[in-house]
Each structure stands twice: as C-alpha cells, then as structure tokens.
Structure 1
Amino acid sequence: MILLTPSSFFQYTNKLLLNDHATGPQIKEFARKNAANALSMANMVMGMASILSSLNHHHAACWLVLIGYLLDLADGAVARRLNACSALAKLDDFADFTTFGIATSLLLRTSDMMDNILCVCYVLSVFVRLCFFSIPFMYRGLPCIYSSAILASASLLSGGNLAMLRVIAVAMILFMISQNFYPHDKVLESETWKKVVYAGVVMVFCSSFPPACVYYLLWSVSYILFPASLWSSKI
C-alpha cells in the first residue's frame, strides 16, 4: 500500500505538471495513486451540494447524500483494487464528515429547537464514530455511511415525515456510538455484488422512483441486521 503525506503529494504533483517530458507511465502512476482521492473529493462535493440544497430543495439534498454514499463505497474499492492508499490521508474522513455528518443532519433541521439539538447530536456522533472506529478488520460502531443512507432513503420514501426521521436518527446515533462490532464490507469486492451495485447506480441516475430508495434502504438495513452472514465470512 502506498501512503503519501500532503507535502510529498503536492511536490510530486508539481514535479509532474512542470515536467514537459512526463511519460505515459508516470501519468498512469499518478492517476493510479490519486483515483481514490478523486472519488473522495467527489463525495465531498456531493455533501456540500446537499448542504446548499437542504435550504430549499430537500428532495435533491437526499439524492445527493445517496450519490455520496456510492462514491464513498467506490473510494475504498478503487483504493484496494489499485493497491494505493489515499495520498491525503484524512481526505476521506473530511468527505465523510461533510456528507454523512453535516449534510445528513440538515435533513432533520427545522425551526424547532429540539430538532436543531438532534442535528447537533447527530453530527457529534458521526464525529466520534470517525475518530474512534479503526481496529483491524472490523468497525466499532455502525459506519456513518449506512446510517446516512437509511435516513436519506426513509426521508424520500416517507415524504420527509419528521416524526419517523427523528426516531430513525436517534436509533442511528445509538448504533454509531455503540461498542458493537461490524465487519468490513468485503462482499462489495465480489463480482456478483458489483453487478447489484451497478444496478443501483442506474436507478439513481435514470429514475427518482421509490424502488431506488428501497434498494438503498434494504442495502443499509441488511448491513445492520445480518453483518456476518451477508457482508463478511466472519465477524
């Protein structure tokens, strides 16, 4: 695995850009090392766009979070496939915090003080989850990507029913800060499951119908309910 510091990353980038005789292999190596970074940046852009959309376009904000969900999954898969860690080590965490923390919490925001407190609690739980989740081969506490997908999907399917979203948000907070163990989603690396993922991508970009939301909801809930049997050979 290749891990670069931010300073060495920018030095390498400048060297490549200033070199008039950069070869094809050099460019390909640069692209390989930074493919995951590009997906993390795209995830962050989706999160920021969702934050802006949540002010007036709740429906679009939910979909942007779900697109960020796919990009985050692709980020890890691409990094493993290309055998290259993120050159900016914390970029993925920043992107996750933007999309699955701030942007998702704003789906719950109203003028009511208690809803705003719930938003703050949700963001804090994502922050805690991102800071303390890393242990070998497992996650401690529910990964925030799945709680975010459940909230966004439920919001779309229920038409933004606040009572339901409040209950789900509280449950997701408890799952994220719990000490339960969840496996790394190794099943996503299988060829069969990739086809299912691609089907979901098609639904996202070609329709806005409930089946796409149900797809994401079932995907995320299955990770909570059946982590060992569906997502990993062992837990």
Structure 2
Amino acid sequence: MTDTVLITGATSGFGLACARRFASAGGYRLVLTGRRSERLADIAKELGEQCEVHTLTLDVTDREAVVAALTSLPEAFAQVKILVNNAGLALGTGPAQESSLEDWQRMINTNIAGLTTVTHTLLPTLIEQGKGASIINIGSIAGNWPYPGGNVYCGTKAFVEQFSHALRCDLAGTGVRVSNLAPGLAESEFTLVRTGGDQAASDKLYAGTNPIKPEDIADSVFWIASLPAHLNVNQLEIMPVSQAWSPFSIHRES
C-alpha cells in the first residue's frame, strides 16, 4: 500500500531532506509545497524517478490559496496520511525593542497561521485515514528555551508545541497521531533567512559546532511516521552534542 505524505516548505532544508527520505524508502507518494516554482520542478524531476510526486507552488500564509489547493488535490494524491508541517522561519536577531513589527507579523503568519490553516484543512482527510495517520509539526527548542533576540520566534514555536499537544487531546480515539519535533542548532538556510542573507553571520554561528543536519531531522521524521500505529511520539527535542543550556543571565547594577 502506498501512503501519501504532504510536506510544506519542501524546497530546502528540513523539508527537502524529508522529501528525499520518504522517496528513497519506497511505499510513499509525495505532495510537496513551497514558494519557489523552479525549485519544486527540479525536486519533482529528481524524486520522480523514485516515487509519484505532486507539487504545489504555495505560500502557507495565503489562507484562501491553501484551502483551495489542498481541497482539490488530484485523486491519486488526495488521501494524505502523513502531514509534515515544516514551513516556517525566523527573522531578525535583535532585541524586541529594536525589532521590525513587519518581521514579527510575518513569523506569526507563517509559523502559526500557516501551520494551522494547513492542519485544519487536512484534518478531515487525516481522520478518515485513521490508524497510522500522522501530523508531525516542526517546532524548535526555542519553544521551550528562550534566548535574547528570540522574542516572537520563540513565541511562535511555543505555540506549535502547545497546539500539537492540544491536537492530541482532541484527536484521541481517531487514530491520528500528533508529534512536535523540536530541533536545536541546525545548519540550513535558516540563519541566512534570519539575517537577511548574511553568509558571514551564518558561517560564524555554525563554525566548529558539528550542528544538526537536515538529513538528521528527516531521519527522525521518518522514524516517527513509521512507528507502529499504536505508538505516538508526543515531543522529541534534539540538540547537537555541542549544544547545551547556559546559566541564567543576571543584570547587575553598575
């Protein structure tokens, strides 16, 4: 039996790695969404030799477009059994008082509104699939561990975690599983996007750290999705060994 996997933000990073992981495993067909049409076309050509692939040029912040696209999937791809909510971003590294309200709104629109729109639209289909159906939300350790400059990004990932847990409560008895996968320091386009394309800042962050790779997260997503249907991974937090917690910050009066 071939299961259908829908992955948002599939043109790079975790999303692309997940697409490649499911394609290489066999037994899956893929629905891949992203904002970059040319990238999607290249990925479809690459993975089309391994499995059936359907692509959607889609911005998850466009609610009407998301609903229209996901409710009119071709028949062969309509029965989505595994949803990987990967689309998301961070913008800016400065303190809240110096941050752009536009950046804040874009993070909220993508990380919260986009994720909930995709999920809400596909819930009837996932419930119809029943046992073994999975919603895997890509959160972040930022949802649990705040840091300077994290402000709204941390808030959006805290939402993803609590939304995931609350969905588990609501979906009890349906067979649909919900997981929040929370990576730590991971090397992808993430920091380039966050810093507006500052390659030097990205290189500095990851230098000497042996960070998480997109393929590591893809392996984790695949493991969660392929567990026996009676098992649910509620929360999985992953850091590279080089990353750990620091002492609390203390401000001292001069």
Q: TM-score range by the shorter chain?
A: 0.3 to 0.5
Kindly indicate which of the two structures has a greater share of residues assigned to strand. Answer: 2
Kindly indicate which of the two structures has a greater share of residues assigned to helix. Answer: 1
After TM superposition, the score normalised by the length of structure 2 is 0.32
After TM superposition, the score normalised by the length of structure 1 is 0.33
